């Protein structure tokens, strides 16, 4: 009985050590889990975001030009695998950002399968996206106010 208690105590202590180090690693990368969502530790909660435009689709397209008036803005997306009966097929989802003159400014997303995330951009101006996708998606552009 004494050995069993010793092994249980060692197991519990090991568990708490693992949890402690996992918390330290999480803190090093500046990410916290809040309400089941990932949140950057440097995020300022009082920042207001206003939606500029959104798109919903399931194929490749170029968007219309949109105007950003703030210096910092973000694009958020959610994409899901296609379903055929009981089978799911992971597809590709890419977001290429261009300025009004057609110059590539960056790649906001390049993922496969189910995913959702945000990419922060900088600079006021006129932009458009080239969306390359073989699966359903929603894309939302927001700017700081």
The per-residue pLDDT for range 30-42, each reduced to its tens digit, is 333 333 344 454 4
Query: What does the pLDDT average to over 46-66?
Result: 95
Which is nearest to 93 in space by CA: 76, 113, 121?
Answer: 113
Same domain, yes or no, for 61 and 90? yes
Same domain, yes or no, for 75 and 138? yes
Domain count, the chain: 2
Same domain, yes or no, for 24 and 85? no
Q: What is the CATH number of the domain that holds 132?
A: 2.60.120.380
Q: Which domain holds residue 91?
A: 47-144
Same domain, yes or no, for 94 and 116? yes
Same domain, yes or no, for 107 and 52? yes
Q: Are 56 and 137 in contact (CB under 8 A)?
A: yes
3-state secondary structure of 41: coil
Q: Are 40 and 31 in contact (CB under 8 A)?
A: yes
Query: What does the pLDDT average to over 51-67?
Result: 97
Cα gap 30→20, rounded to integer Å: 16
Helix (H) or strand (E) holding 15: helix 2-28
Cα distances (Å, whole numbers) of residue 7 to 12, 13, 46, 64: 9, 10, 48, 64
Cα distances (Å, whole numbers) of residue 1 to 25, 78, 128: 36, 54, 70
Which is nearest to 139 in space by CA: 45, 34, 64, 35?
Answer: 64
Q: Are 128 and 68 in contact (CB under 8 A)?
A: no
Same domain, yes or no, for 30 and 66? no
Same domain, yes or no, for 80 and 33? no
**Is the pLDDT at 121 greater than 50, yes or no?**
yes
The per-residue pLDDT for range 106-120, each reduced to its tens digit, is 999 999 999 999 999
Query: Can you give the pLDDT at residue 84?
Result: 84
**Is the pLDDT at 103 greater than 50, yes or no?**
yes
Same domain, yes or no, for 82 and 103? yes
User: In the structure encoding, which two tokens stand for residue 94, read together?
Assistant: 């890419």
Q: What is the pTM of this model?
A: 0.67
């Amino acid at each position: 009985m004494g050995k069993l208690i010793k092994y249980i105590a060692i197991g519990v202590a090991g568990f708490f050590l693992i949890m402690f180090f996992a918390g330290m690693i999480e803190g090093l990368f500046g990410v916290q889990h809040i309400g089941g969502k990932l949140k950057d530790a440097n995020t300022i909660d009082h920042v207001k975001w206003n939606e500029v435009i959104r798109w919903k689709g399931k194929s490749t397209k170029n968007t219309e030009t949109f105007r950003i008036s703030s210096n910092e803005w973000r694009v958020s997306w959610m994409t899901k695998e296609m379903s055929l009966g009981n089978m799911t097929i992971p597809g590709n989802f890419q977001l290429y950002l261009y300025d009004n003159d057609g110059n590539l400014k960056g790649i906001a997303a390049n993922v496969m399968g189910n995913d959702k995330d945000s990419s922060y951009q900088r600079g006021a101006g006129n932009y458009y996206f080239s969306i390359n996708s073989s699966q359903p998606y929603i894309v939302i552009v927001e700017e700081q106010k």
